[in-house]
Amino acid sequence: MRIRFNVCALFRAFFVLAGAALCVLPAGASVVINGTRVVFPSNEREVSVRLTNEGTSPGLVQMWIDKGDPKSTPSTGDVPFLLTPPLFRIDPTKGQTVRMIYNKEPLPQDRESIFWLNLLEVPPRPQNVDPNDSNYVQMAFRTRIKIFFRPQALNTQELVYAAPAKVTWKIIREGDAYLLEAKNPTPYYISVTKTGLVSAGDAPEAAPKFLNEEGGMLAPGGQERYVLKNLRQLPPPQSKVRFTYLNDYGGSVDVDSALTQ
């Protein structure tokens, strides 16, 4: 997700204004994180995150981690991780490796914990702009991706890949709407991107009906509800849920699951 801020040229001034209103930015950032999520095994001392400047100008970058507050700043992020370097310049077409170091502060070992990695990029002031022009507004671009801290006992491919299929689904009615209620009995976060229904005998490539593309993240032991768009009555008994989730590499995976009563 990319968010745009009105900022001064200096990072300190930016963070004074960090509580200002945000707006969604469809494009503009040049520095990108190579990946859409980070999995941090608990038995590792550190993991590396790779960045690339895909733009034509150098950028000044600051990074920090938070616990889920989209308005966080480096000074408010109280987390058990250290990033090095946290502030750096990255030239066009060049890359930068940032080390994420775990300080071994105790975290739950029976389930995943989630944090957020923030990247703030301040592009250079255009050369044709007068540095004394008080009407010029410097823009900064912020990117956030999830960090899944995974206990060692849970960090096996067999357990990770089996988790989404263990989610239970049932249809409930709220007023005139029908919803899918999902319950996650596993110790993993499951990032759902789409939900819908398929009929018995539908091919694997068949598009689900009553599709909901809003998605939402299922926390360990948690539950979420997804509206079944345009469903006006209970579906046939043999109907199944077809949902899409994101795996550890950010790839989309479809799963068919039976409905429970």
Mean pLDDT, the chain, integer? 86
DSSP letters for 193-249? EEEEEE-TT--TTSPPEEEE---EEEPTT-EEEEE-TT--SPPPTT-EEEEEEE-TT
The band of 16, judged by pLDDT with boundaries at 50, 70 and 90, is very low
Please give the pLDDT value at position 18: 39
Q: Is 95 helix (H, G, I), strand (E, B) or coil?
A: strand
Q: Is 100 helix (H, G, I), strand (E, B) or coil?
A: strand
Q: What is the pLDDT of residues 73-95, one digit of tens each?
A: 998 878 999 999 999 999 999 99
Mean predicted confidence (pLDDT) in 14-30: 44
Mean predicted confidence (pLDDT) in 107-120: 98
Please give the pLDDT value at position 130: 62
Task: With a cut of 90, say whether residue 41 has pLDDT above it.
Answer: yes
Which range (9-13, 117-121, 208-212) has the least confidence? 9-13
CA atoms in the 13 A half-sphere facing the CB of 227 = 8
Please give the pLDDT value at position 140: 80
Predicted model pTM: 0.83
**Cβ-based neighbours of 96, under 8 Å, separated by 6 or more:** 50, 51, 52, 53, 61, 88, 90
Mean predicted confidence (pLDDT) in 183-191: 99
Domains and CATH numbers, the chain: 2-153 (2.60.40.10), 157-258 (2.60.40.10)
Mean predicted confidence (pLDDT) in 240-254: 96
Are residues 87 and 122 in contact, defined by beta-carbon separation less than 8 angstroms?
no
> Measured between alpha carbons, how far is 123 from 139 in angstroms, rounded to an integer?
7
> Measured between alpha carbons, how far is 242 from 257 in angstroms, rounded to an integer?
6
**64: which strand partners?**
118
Q: Is 25 helix (H, G, I), strand (E, B) or coil?
A: coil
Mean predicted confidence (pLDDT) in 214-235: 93
Mean predicted confidence (pLDDT) in 129-133: 63
